[in-house]
Amino acid sequence: MPLLLLDLDNTLIDRDAAFREAAAAFLAAHGLPATDLPWVTAVDAGGYTPRPEVAAALTDRYGGTVPPLAVRTLLDTGAAGRVVLAAATREALDRARASGWTCVIVTNGRTVQQETKIRGTGLDRLVQGWVVSEAVGHKKPEPEIFHAAAATAGLPLPGAWVIGDSPHADIAGAAALGLRSVWVANARAWTQDSYRPTHIAADVTSAIDLVIGTTPNRAEQRSSRADTAGRDSGAPHAPPPP
């Protein structure tokens, strides 16, 4: 069975939208200005700022107004409790499984938080497994986490596809292992010169459909069509070009 490795945050689920919602609720609950929302999301940086640094920045800014527990709650469960799985993504994963693909989530982050997202959205019933960086002791783009994902599925890593939104974590990680990849652009332009994804897709649904629609390469497809045409016409068919 072919192996499809999928990123979680901002790929399968819109983690940033969930965090914005949680941050807005945090500000409102503590009587803080709603105009601070861009600052909070900038500090968070899509989840890439280490949690202690985000906590320190929020404490420095709001320490006299907000109890430390509220900051920890925002960072621990705020986004995790609000993420949703879009119907289109669910349907794309169903199509992948129906097409014989084994889907495994590969995500950086803390195990409790990431598994809350996976189970809360029902992704645990749509994929064949997952690996979280905290649990395996390696973060994307390190090759070990991709090998761990393949081992979880009991499948070889060579030949797998990687889908993700992070050029560094997902696409560079795939490139280093010689794996094919699809970058989920989310309305961004590709700016890296040292490596590139195999394909670029507007969103995860398009990315999944692109991968599961991949068949033998175009030369083989041309050969197959030529063979079919030859049989239909009764004419002898030539061997495919080298």
Residue 187 belongs to domain with CATH number: 3.40.50.1000
The DSSP 8-state label assigned to residue 198 in this structure reads S
Q: Are residues 70 and 7 in the same domain?
A: no
Mean pLDDT by 10 residues, the chain (242 residues): 96 97 97 97 93 95 93 93 97 97 97 96 98 97 98 97 98 98 97 96 97 56 34 34 34
Alpha helices in the chain (DSSP H): 15-29, 37-44, 51-62, 68-73, 87-98, 111-120, 133-136, 143-153, 173-176, 204-212, 218-233
Asked, for residue 37, whether it belongs to a domain, the answer is yes
Q: Residue 1's pLDDT is what?
A: 85
Asked, for residue 154, whether it belongs to a domain, the answer is yes
Q: Are residues 109 and 168 in the same domain?
A: yes
Q: Are residues 189 and 156 in the same domain?
A: yes
The pTM of the full predicted model, rounded to 2 decimals, is: 0.85
Asked, for residue 234, whether it belongs to a domain, the answer is no
Q: Are residues 116 and 146 in the same domain?
A: yes
Q: Residue 214's pLDDT is what?
A: 66
Q: Residue 45's pLDDT is what?
A: 94
Asked, for residue 238, whether it belongs to a domain, the answer is no
Q: Residue 218's pLDDT is what?
A: 35
Q: Are residues 64 and 160 in the same domain?
A: no
Domains contained in the chain, number: 2
Asked, for residue 217, whether it belongs to a domain, the answer is no
Q: Residue 241's pLDDT is what?
A: 34
Q: Give the residue numbers spanning the domain of 69.
A: 15-78
Q: Are residues 61 and 138 in the same domain?
A: no
Of 23, 45, 78, the one marking the end of a domain is: 78
The DSSP 8-state label assigned to residue 163 in this structure reads E
Contact 202, 185 (CB under 8 A): yes
Q: Are residues 93 and 157 in the same domain?
A: yes
Asked, for residue 142, whether it belongs to a domain, the answer is yes
Q: Are residues 208 and 96 in the same domain?
A: yes
